[in-house]
Structure 1
Amino acid sequence: MTELIQTSGALDQFCEDMSRSPWVGVDTEFERIRTYHPRLCLIQISTPHQTVCIDPLVGLDLTPVARLLGCDGPLKIIHSARQDLEVINHEIGVVPSPLFDTQIAAAFCGFGEQVGYAALVEAICDIKLAKGYTRTAWCKRPLSTNQIAYALDDARFLGRLYEYLERYLQSSQRLSWAQEEFNILSGTDMLEASKSAAIEKISNAARGLTQVGQSIATELAKWREQAAMHCDQPRQWLLSNDQLLTIAAADPYSVIELAQIDNVAAEFCKRWGEPVIAVVECGRDKAVQFPVRDRPGRLPPRQKALDKVLWKELQKISDVAGLPPSLIARRDDIRALAAGKRDLLLLRGWRSEIAGKALLHCIDRYIN
C-alpha cells in the first residue's frame, strides 16, 4: 500500500484492515498560525505492520478514520497527546480512546516529565530521528518525499515505545497510575479546556483592577473567545491581552470613548466597537456580584513555613518514587494544601496513595 493515502478507496481499505489491529500509533501535523481552530494537515497512523500518512486536504471523507480512532477501535498510542486530541476532535469529531500517551507513560518510567518523542525514540530504540522538517508548512502541497518520510517517522516507532513502556509500567505496578492520567486526558473537552484557560489567564491578570474592571475583563475574555471562534482567527489577533485589560481598566461608556484609548486601533473600533461596549456594560452590571480576586500577597508566616515543609516532603517522596515532583503536584497545589484546601487532584487516585495521605499526616504533625 502507498505511504500517502489520498483516495477514498485506499482510505477505506486501510481503515478496515487496521480496525483488527491490537493498537494504532497516531500523530498529526497541523497549523494554527492564522486560525482559532488548528487546521489538520496530515494524519499519520502506524500499526505493527505498516505506517501511512492520510492527506485530509484532498477532500476525503474521514468517517472511516473517525471509526478507527473512536472508542470502539483499537488502542491509540500518541506522544504528548493533548494537541493531537484537540485537532482530531475538532476536525474529525472524535476524541481518540482508549488512549496510551507515551510522554505521560515515560514520566512514570523515569524519563523525566515532558520528554520529547525524538529523545524517547533514541533512548529506547537507539534510533536518531531527523529534525529537518520540524517547522514545515504542512498545509502546502505537494509534499516532498523527505517530508512524507519525516512525518511517517513521527508515528512509526510509537508501537515500540508502547511495548517497552507498558512492560515497565506493568513490572513497576504503575500501569494503573498512568491509566488514570490517560482517562483524564481523553475525557477532557479540549475546546472548552482551551477557552477556559484563556479566560482564566485574563481573570488572573486583571487582579490589579477594581471589582468593576475585573468583571469587565472577564466578560471581554468570554466575548473574545466567541468572536474569535466565529471569525476563525487567533484570539490575540482579534484583541490582545494588553488591549483587553486596558479597555477593562478604562471602562468606556461609548464607542467614542473606546476610540480614545491609546492601545485600541480605529479599525477595531469600527468593526467591533458597539459589541465591545455592550460587553463592557454587561460586565459593569455584573460587577456587584463578581468575586474579587486580590493580588497575591505575603503568606502568613505559619502558612509559609508549612508550605516549605510540605514541598520538602513532596521532594523526598518523589525522589524515593523516582518521579518528577511536578508530576505528582505543582507548586500551586502545595500552596493550596497548606492554605487548607482539600478539593485537589493531589488528594485523589494514585497521587493520594503515593503522596496525598502522607502530606496530610505531615500537616497534622505540624499543627499538633
Structure 2
Amino acid sequence: MPLLPPEPVWIINNQTLEDYCQQWSALDAIALDTEFIRTDTFYPLPGLIQVGAGADVFLIDPLEISQWSPLAKLFENPNVIKVLHACSEDLEVFKLLTGTVPRPLFDTQLAAAFANLGFSMGYQALLKHILNIDLPKDETRSNWRQRPLTEAQIRYASLDVTHLLEVYQHLNQLLVQTPKKAWLDDECLSLTLNVLPYDPDNAWQDVKRAWQLRPQQLAVLKALCYFRETAAREEDVPRNRIIPKGSLWPLARFQPKAINALREIPDMRSSIIRHHGEQILDIINAASQIPAEQRPGSLPPPLPKNAKDWGKQIKALISQQAVELEIPLELLTPNKLTSPLLRSWLDNGHFSLPDTLTGWRRDIIGPPLINQLNAMEEKGH
C-alpha cells in the first residue's frame, strides 16, 4: 500500500505566501525542502519549495511567486528552527530566490552523523531507521519545472517534508543533553556562511598536477581558471561548457597560440573552440607575459614516501578519537587536514594545526592530536 502524505496546500501567489509566512513565524520549527533542475545551468533552477508546518504540507510554486521578502524574513527569524536534510544545494536555491538562507538551521543528515547513526545517511534510510517508514524515491530525476506536475511528483515532494519534523524531534532529543548539540549547531551555522561563494582567484589551486607547472605556466592556469569560473556564472552554464576540466592543465602547459593548436588539446570540443577559442588564446597570450614578480609561486609537490607512515599514524589517532567521541571518522576529520599537518612537520620539524581547522573540530581534535604527534616525533616515531 503506498505511503500517503496529507493533501498539500498550494501557494501560487505573493499574498498567500505572505499570509502563511506570518503564520509559520509563530512556530518553533518548520521543515523545508526544494526540488530543482541543474543539468544545463551553473545555478539550480527552482521547481518547487516544500514546507512542513505541524501536520500540514505546503507547496510553494516558484514559477508563480515574484515577491520573496516574506520568506526571507521568515528565514532570518531566530525563533523558528528550519529543518532540512542534506541541505547544501537547497541553500543555494534559497539564496538565489530570497537573497538569504534559513537560520537557525538543523540539518538532519548532520544530526544523524553526530548521533552516530551513520555518515551521510540518505533521507530514505534515516526515515526507515527512526520511524520505520519506507519512503519511495521514484521521482528524483523528473522535470520539476513542468506544469502541471504529475500526481507522483506531488506525492514524492510532499513526503519529503511530511515526517521531517518527527525526525528532527527524535534526533534533537538524542543530542540536546550532550556536547554534540553545540557541535551540530556550529556545523549547521557554518553551512549557511558560504553559500554560493564567489572566489575565482583561487580556482587554479584545485587543478590536478598544478604542482608540476612553472610559475609562468601557473600564471596562465590562474587566468584560465578565473575566466572559466566567471564566464560560467555570467552565462549560467556548467563550467565544462566554458573550458573542460581536463583541458586546463594542458592549456597552461603547452600554451597554444592558434585555433588549430587548440584542437590538439585534450577534451577541447569544437563547440567550445567556436564560442570561446579566440578568447582563450587571448587569455593565454596575456597571462604568459605577466612579469615574474606577479606570478603565483610554485605549488609544493606531493608528499614524499617517508610521510606516508605519519599519515597512517594521524589517521589512527583521529580514528581512536572518533571511537571515543562516538561519531563517524568522516565527520571528525575535515578535508585536507592530513596533508597540511605533514607539511608543517616537513617544513618545521614539528606538527602544528592548519588555520583551516576551525570551530569545534579545532577544539576537539587539536590539542590531543598535536601533543601525541609531537611526543611521538621526540621519541623518534
Normalised TM-score (structure 1):
0.90
Q: Deviations over 1:153-185 (max 9, x none)?
A: 111222111111111112333111111101111
Q: Distance in 2 between matches of 1:132 and 1:56?
A: 22
Work out whether residues 318 and 365 of structure 2, in 8 Å CA contact, stay in contact via their aligned partners in 1: yes
Q: Deviations over 1:123-147 (max 9, x none)?
A: 1112111111121111111112221
Residue 364 (1) aligns with residue 362 (2): no
Sequence identity of aligned pairs in percent? Answer: 27
Q: 1:75: how far off? A: 1.4
2:340 alignment partner in structure 1:
336
Q: 1:6: how far off? A: 1.5
Aligned pair partner of 2:114 in 108, 115, 137: 108
Q: Deviations over 1:95-136 (max 9, x none)?
A: 211111111111110112111111111111121111111211
1:62-141 → structure 2 map (5 Å cutoff): 62-72=68-78, 74-141=80-147
1:201 alignment partner in structure 2:
206
Aligned pair partner of 2:230 in 223, 226, 230: 226
The SS at the match of 1:162 is: helix
1:11 alignment partner in structure 2:
17
Aligned pair partner of 1:279 in 263, 280, 283: 283
1:245 alignment partner in structure 2:
249
Work out whether residues 314 and 359 of structure 1, in 8 Å CA contact, stay in contact via their aligned partners in 2: yes
The SS at the match of 2:158 is: helix
From the two aligned structures, give the one with the greater helix fraction. 1
**Cα–Cα, structure 1 residues 58 and 267, in superposed 2: closer, same or farther, change >3 Å?**
same
CA RMSD of aligned residues (A): 2.4
Any unmatched runs of 5+ in structure 2? 1-6, 345-351
Work out whether residues 31 and 82 of structure 2, in 8 Å CA contact, stay in contact via their aligned partners in 1: yes
1:151 alignment partner in structure 2:
157
Q: What code does the residue aligned with 1:230 have?
A: E
Q: 1:32: how far off? A: 0.7
The SS at the match of 2:48 is: strand
Q: Distance in 1 between matches of 2:338 and 2:266?
A: 41
**Cα–Cα, structure 1 residues 104 and 232, in superposed 2: closer, same or farther, change >3 Å?**
same
Q: What code does the residue aligned with 1:327 have?
A: L
Aligned length: 363
Moved more, 264-273 or 244-253: 264-273
Q: 1:343: how far off? A: 2.4
The SS at the match of 1:191 is: coil
Residue 184 (1) aligns with residue 190 (2): yes
Residue 306 (1) aligns with residue 310 (2): yes
**Cα–Cα, structure 1 residues 359 and 171, in superposed 2: closer, same or farther, change >3 Å?**
same
The SS at the match of 1:33 is: coil
Q: Distance in 2 between matches of 1:89 and 1:166?
A: 26
Q: Distance in 2 between matches of 1:350 and 1:75?
A: 21
Aligned pair partner of 1:21 in 3, 27, 34: 27
